Amino acid sequence: MTLEDEDIKTIEKFALHNAVKYRQPPQVGAVMGRVMGQCPHLRPKAKDVTAEVQKVIDQVAEGNPDEWQQRLEEVAPELIEELNTKKEPEKGLKPLDVAEGEKVVMRFAPNPNGPATLGSARGMVINSEYVKMYRGDFIIRFDDTDPQTKRPLLEAYEWYLDDCHWLGIEPDRVVKASDRITLYYEYARKLIEMGHAYVCFCDGTDFKKYKDSCAPCPDRDRDPAKNLEHWHKMIEGDYEEKSAVLRIKTEIDHKDPALRDFGAFRIVKATHPRSEVGDKYVVWPLLDFEGAIEDHELGMTHIIRGKDLMDSEKRQKYIYDYLGWEYPKTTHWGRIKMHEFGKFSTSALRKSIEEGEYTGWDDPRLPTIRAIRRRGIKPEALRKFMVDMGVGETDVSISMDSLYSENRKLIDSQTKRFFFVPDPQKVEIIDGRHTVATPPLHPVENMGNRSIEVDNIVYISGEDAKELSPGSLLRLKDLYNIEIVSTQPLRAKHIGDSMDEVRKKRPPIVQWVAKDNLHVDVLSPEGIFTGIGELQIANEIDKVVQFERFGFCRIDDVKEKKVVAYFTHK
């Protein structure tokens, strides 16, 4: 089924519009969406439209941004106007509530039980950006006082600092909570003496019954002096795990059960992985207590935390009120959900890595900063992505495409182009002759040309080969035109060098690789793509290149004639 000329013009204008907007040939889906939105009569012909869109994109790929702009001005000047007038939504960080003369102090407080994730990057970037805006201090505090359930990973401390450095963030101070246990003990003693804390010997089930019925547990009204005795016995290791808990007194009939006499310290007889701490302590603060004390001791003026931690804030305010402190100004933000990753937990990822499901914390399928770095994402792109997201209580559901778009703007003009052919299929050119192809290293920037020696054998992708039949025409990009003679084996004949000779027949324009090539494995979030690539790729170790019609990739490793690349994005 053929399409009308008017429909083909519509496809061309939307393909050009997308190419001009993003300065690269578009994806089929992006063009299909605009075309089907304007031409609903084409929906029953989706298969034919898809094929035509791909043909048009192949034609667009032969040009450059200046040519696309010129052609779009000819066929659809209204879309040029749309590009020039479209307003971006408001982005960025809103001002903080800062008193005159106040020095802003903010913190990022990770649990180092694994490396920094994209969620961690948000905390790193936003807090450090605010401190930069107000010339304040930025503190990294490792909340590492759970040696059992969320057991710290020794390497993670340095990983976090390394990721901060990569992001251009240099903390003014680094604090490890596990170094400051005696500080928390001292404040616990004060609260016990003041009658605001007590040692509870109820097991978890019994205490829940008391709490749910708004009734005090039998230990609640014990004399402070007796509570101090029990507290010292806890610290000395005289009690077993789960046999005693230090609780902060609140209103036992508070309307919110989560705020009734919450736990502040528990007994955990596990050795801390840091040798400086080891088995020195058996009583460990819970996060609400440790965080409350540290935010005061470190002089926090502003805190940005998840709205899911509002109960934590309410519990901490009891401690602040008892000790006569002023609570920091707090802003809440909603959860961030990345479409491509869904829900995940660091503990679950750690288990999957140990079981061999992932290659490590920098596996391209993981939402860690280490993985993003290895894939070739620029730190400037990640920073801008996080700042543009802003701070608001609404949950944010966002695609990695937004991050990729920011990164593409940074790397596109600096990135060399090469041919990569996944699932390679051999094509014999029956009248092939030795020649040298000289494709440009960049379609616009003056980077020079590659030099590829070609004889009578080339390889094309399995995807391009599967639709071929005798008589099919192909344009081997930046080389010459061929006509398929047979498919088993795949053989073709040379029918001219110029694109102009076959332009009216609109042949597919395909990538190819010569007989002398490199084996290439591309590790991506979707799995491993295996194929072959140009010899010159071996010179690009640790650099991002673009495999034409495939995507940007960072060349991670080259050994002999084998290349391992990490997929960056389209």
The bridge status of strand 457-461 relative to strand 424-429 is antiparallel
Q: Which of 458, 449, 460, 453 is nearest to 434 (CA)?
A: 453
Domain 338-412 architecture: Orthogonal Bundle (1.10)
Handedness of CA 525, 529, 533, 539 (dihedral sign): positive
Residue type, 15: A
- Class of the CATH domain delimited by 416-569: mainly beta
pLDDT at 85: 64
Beta-bridge mates of residue 284: 266
CATH number of 100-334: 3.40.50.620
d(CA 192, CA 135): 39
**Helix 5-22 vs helix 65-75: angle between axes, to the nearest 10 degrees?**
140
Give yes or no on whether 100-334 and 338-412 have one common fold.
Answer: no
Which tokens hold the place of 420? Answer: 């990569």
Q: DSSP labels for 492-512?
A: EEE--S-GGGTGGG---EE--
pLDDT at 61: 86
Query: Does residue 80 contact residue 65 with C-beta atoms inside 8 Å?
Result: no
Domain boundaries, the chain: 5-84, 100-334, 338-412, 416-569
Query: Does residue 334 contact residue 397 with C-beta atoms inside 8 Å?
Result: no
Q: Which of 252, 129, 141, 265 is nearest to 192 (CA)?
A: 265
pLDDT at 80: 82
pLDDT at 161: 98
Other residues' Cβ atoms within 10 Å of the Cβ of residue 448: 11
Beta-bridge mates of residue 178: none
Alpha helices in 413-485 (DSSP H): 462-465
Handedness of CA 407, 118, 371, 402 (dihedral sign): negative
d(CA 293, CA 316): 9
Q: How far is CA 96 from the centre of its chain?
A: 26
- Per-residue pLDDT for the chain (570 aa), expressed as one digit of tens each? 578 888 888 899 899 998 888 888 888 888 888 888 888 888 788 888 888 888 888 888 888 888 888 888 888 888 887 777 654 555 789 999 999 999 999 999 999 999 999 999 999 999 999 999 999 999 999 999 999 999 999 999 999 999 999 999 999 999 999 999 999 999 999 999 999 999 999 999 999 999 999 999 999 999 999 999 999 999 999 999 999 999 999 999 999 999 999 999 999 999 999 999 999 999 999 999 999 999 999 999 999 999 989 999 999 999 999 999 999 999 999 988 888 887 778 888 889 999 999 999 999 999 999 999 999 999 999 999 999 999 988 888 888 999 999 999 999 999 999 999 999 999 999 988 899 999 999 999 999 999 999 999 999 999 999 989 999 999 999 999 999 999 999 999 999 999 888 888 889 999 999 999 999 999 999 999 999 999 999 999 999 999 999 999 999 999 999 999 999 999
DSSP strands (E only) in 97-188: 105-108, 137-142, 173-176
Other residues' Cβ atoms within 10 Å of the Cβ of residue 126: 22
pLDDT at 396: 80
End-to-end CA distance of the chain: 31
Beta-bridge mates of residue 197: 248
d(CA 89, CA 235): 55
d(CA 135, CA 103): 8
DSSP code of residue 85: H
Q: Is 108 exposed, middle or buried (0-12, 13-18, 19+ CB in 10 A)?
A: buried
pLDDT at 90: 59
pLDDT at 376: 98
Beta-bridge mates of residue 481: 475
Which tokens hold the place of 370? Answer: 């280490």
Q: How far is CA 49 from the centre of its chain?
A: 34
